[in-house]
A = this chain, B = another copy of it.
Amino acid sequence: MRDFFSQFDFQSDLLFEDLTESENQAVENTMESLAIKKGSMLFYEGGIPTGIYQIKQGKAKKFKRGFTGDEQIFYIYTPQDVLGYHALLGQERYQDSCEALEDLKVNFIAKEDFLRLLREIPALQQKLIKNIGHEFGVLANIIAVLAQKNQNARLALFLLLLENRFNRNSPTVKGIDLTRDDLANLIGTSQESLGRSLKQFKEQGCIETDKRNIYIKDSLQLEQLLQVKID
């Protein structure tokens, strides 16, 4: 199970794991806690990187506008995830945008501090590079899904992924709380067409909804749609 989901998870929440006590202290010392309002941008495409973020509370979407301007979400970040390091490492501008889906609490590390940490903690640099390689594989997997799976299968997959990601570190299942618009932009369809698939899933008893929240009721049925056994 963990293994199946990890094909689609950036796992950037593990970046600061496995540090020694003193290394960890050095990292903590550079962090500045920020509150970010729902709907505002952590960074955007074309902007100049100023540092990296670790989400401590809330969710954020990473997206890119295709050449015709349509928003394509390719990742939803949740607490503990670290983001914003690609552009910073490459000394270039952001390739994508990141927006708070709810009020966030984040820890910010300024560019120079983070680069210094990387120099001083070789294990961190190694882990970061490893992680970037992993993320590359995740995007390739997402490409395979979008290119090969039909809408119901894509929806089933993302519901399973998001449920797992959203409720990983929380004792109570809160369901999947995204706007229909965001969910549609994640699985690559229109809002209306997404609604049709959700209705089918409800009729089959796979899911239930309350307001915009989606609760998975029969994950086995969803997995069967993917023709894969998650264990």
Total contacting residues, chain A, CB less than 8 A? 44
Considering the complex, give the chain B residue whose CB is closest to the CB of A188.
B147
- Distance, CA A90 to CA B228, complexed state (A): 28
For A134, what are the chain B residues with a Cβ–Cβ distance below 8 Å?
90, 92, 95
Asked if residues A143 and B143 are in contact (CB atoms below 8 Å), the reply is yes
* A145 on interface, CB distance cutoff 8 Å: yes
- Are B86's CB and A133's CB within 8 A? yes
The answer to whether A136 and B137 touch (CB under 8 A), given A148-B188, A227-B68, is: no
Contact, CB under 8 Å: A144 / B70: yes
Among residues 162 to 201 in chain A, which have CB atoms less than 8 Å away from a CB atom of chain B? 187-188
Our pick among B87, B126, B131 for the contact of A133 (Cβ within 8 Å) is B87
- Do A143 and B90 touch (CB < 8 A)? no
Q: Please, which residues of chain B bring their CB within 8 A of the CB of A126?
A: 91
Question: Chain B residue with minimal CB distance to A72?
Answer: B144
User: Bound state CA distance, A135 and B89, in angstroms?
Assistant: 13
Quick check: is A206 within 8 A (CB to CB) of the other chain?
no
> Which residues of A (104-157) have their CB < 8 Å from a CB of B?
126, 129-137, 139-149
**Across the interface, which residues of B come within 8 angstroms of A139, CB to CB?**
136, 139-140, 143
Beyond contacts A95-B140, A139-B143, A147-B187: 13 other A-B pairs, Cβ-Cβ < 8 A, are: A4-B67, A64-B141, A66-B145, A72-B147, A72-B148, A74-B140, A91-B126, A95-B134, A96-B140, A132-B136, A139-B140, A143-B143, A146-B188
